[in-house]
């Protein structure tokens, strides 16, 4: 549909399309920006488009740039289109036009979690519009948390190529909190082809009780070009090698072209640390 920018105008366009929308009505502000776009069926009642949207509302700054918009998935007297019950998705933009915040709301206007249990998403972008940090919010005031492990936030950090280099978990108090597997944080490194070459899973952080009974604070993995783990090493809170509950400090593996293990090795002794096996192996 062609948009006509007429300051202060109200535009009605009649459409025939597969979604059942027969009419699109647009409202404009004094600067000719579309502030509301609503969809209606042949009976004149609100009708959702192919994406389940009944209405789009948009706000602008003094410079004419979008500050935010709201997608409406539920209206009075019509069945909501989203199975998760979300009635509104509100988006806020930064000065460069990048999405800074996404928030979800129910029919009562209160925050509501999406199908993944997320109430809100926050993003930070660099000057080129690439995401640097991304946060999923699982807890908001006055609403029951959605995660059984009590995690309120998951924060991701990205490299210049868009790879997640760090994923960290936090509780409602803003302090690090372990997920159901006892993990506080996951770190990743990538090569120039964006393949993961190293990762570290963190089970202990300063000021919080470690989650593993064997005292391991960090598990580091190294990968080959096919994504197979070639080395898995265990470390304590002091950063030194530490054996797991089976007395193993490190596991190494070699693979064939089909990704099957050809050779493997478990290390029970490392330099500077007492061997774990009494038989000296």
Determine the pLDDT at residue 19.
Answer: 63
CA R_g for the chain: 26
Q: What per-residue confidence (pLDDT) applies to 79?
A: 82
Residue 155 has a pLDDT of 98
pLDDT reported for residue 16: 44
The pLDDT confidence band at residue 15, using thresholds 50, 70 and 90, is: very low
pLDDT in tens, 104-154: 999 999 999 999 999 999 999 998 999 999 999 999 988 888 999 999 999
Q: Looking at the predicted structure, is the pLDDT value of residue 271 above 80?
A: yes
CB 268 within 8 A of CB 244: no
- Find the range with the poorest average confidence among 13-17, 18-22, 62-66: 13-17
Q: What is the pLDDT of residues 187-246, one digit of tens each?
A: 999 999 999 999 999 999 988 888 999 999 999 999 999 999 999 999 999 999 999 999
Q: What's the pLDDT score for residue 214?
A: 93
Quick one: DSSP state of residue 28? E
Q: According to the model, what pLDDT value does residue 61 have?
A: 92
Burial label for 73, CB within 10 Å (0-12, 13-18, 19+), is buried
Per-residue confidence (pLDDT) for residue 20, from 0 to 100:
83
Quick check: helix, strand or coil at residue 234?
A: strand
State mean pLDDT over 25-41. 94
DSSP β-ladder status, 250-255 and 229-235: antiparallel
Look at residue 7 in the predicted model and tell me its pLDDT. 44
Q: Report pLDDT digits (tens) over 243-258.
A: 999 999 999 999 999 9
Model confidence pLDDT, tens digit, residues 46-78: 999 999 999 999 999 989 999 999 999 999 888
The model carries a pTM of 0.85
pLDDT tier at 5, thresholds 50, 70, 90: very low
Say what the pLDDT of residue 281 is: 81
Query: How confident is the model at residue 181, as a pLDDT?
Result: 96
Tell me what pLDDT residue 143 has: 85
Model confidence at 10: pLDDT above 70: no
* Strands (E) located in the chain: 10-14, 23-28, 34-40, 55-60, 66-72, 88-93, 99-105, 120-125, 131-137, 153-158, 164-170, 185-190, 196-202, 218-223, 229-235, 250-255, 261-267
pLDDT of 11 higher than 80? no
């Amino acid at each position: 549909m062609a948009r006509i920018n007429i300051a202060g105008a109200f535009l009605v366009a009649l459409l025939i399309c597969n979604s059942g929308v027969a009419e699109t009505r647009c409202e404009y502000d004094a600067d000719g920006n579309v502030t509301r776009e609503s969809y209606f069926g042949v009976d004149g009642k609100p009708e959702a488009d192919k994406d389940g949207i009944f209405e789009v509302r948009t706000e602008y700054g003094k410079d004419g740039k979008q500050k935010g918009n709201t997608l409406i998935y539920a209206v009075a007297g019509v069945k909501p289109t989203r199975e998760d019950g979300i009635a509104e998705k509100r988006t806020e933009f930064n000065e460069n036009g990048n999405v800074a915040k996404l928030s979800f709301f129910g029919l009562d206007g209160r925050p509501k979690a999406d199908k993944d249990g997320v109430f809100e998403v926050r993003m930070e972008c660099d000057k080129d519009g690439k995401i640097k940090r991304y946060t999923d919010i699982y807890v908001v005031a006055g609403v029951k948390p959605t995660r059984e492990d009590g995690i309120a936030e998951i924060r991701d950090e990205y490299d210049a190529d868009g790879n997640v280099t760090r994923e960290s978990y936090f509780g409602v108090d803003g302090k690090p909190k372990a997920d159901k597997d006892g993990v506080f944080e996951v770190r990743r490194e990538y090569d120039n082809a964006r393949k993961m070459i190293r990762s570290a899973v963190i089970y202990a952080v300063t000021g919080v009780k470690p989650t593993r009974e064997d005292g391991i604070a960090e598990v580091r993995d190294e990968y080959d070009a096919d994504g197979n783990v070639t080395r898995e090493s265990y470390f304590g809170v002091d950063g030194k090698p530490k054996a797991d509950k089976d007395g193993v400090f490190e596991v190494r593996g070699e693979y064939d072209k089909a990704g099957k293990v050809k050779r493997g090795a478990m290390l029970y002794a490392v330099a500077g640390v007492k061997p774990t096996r009494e038989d000296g192996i």
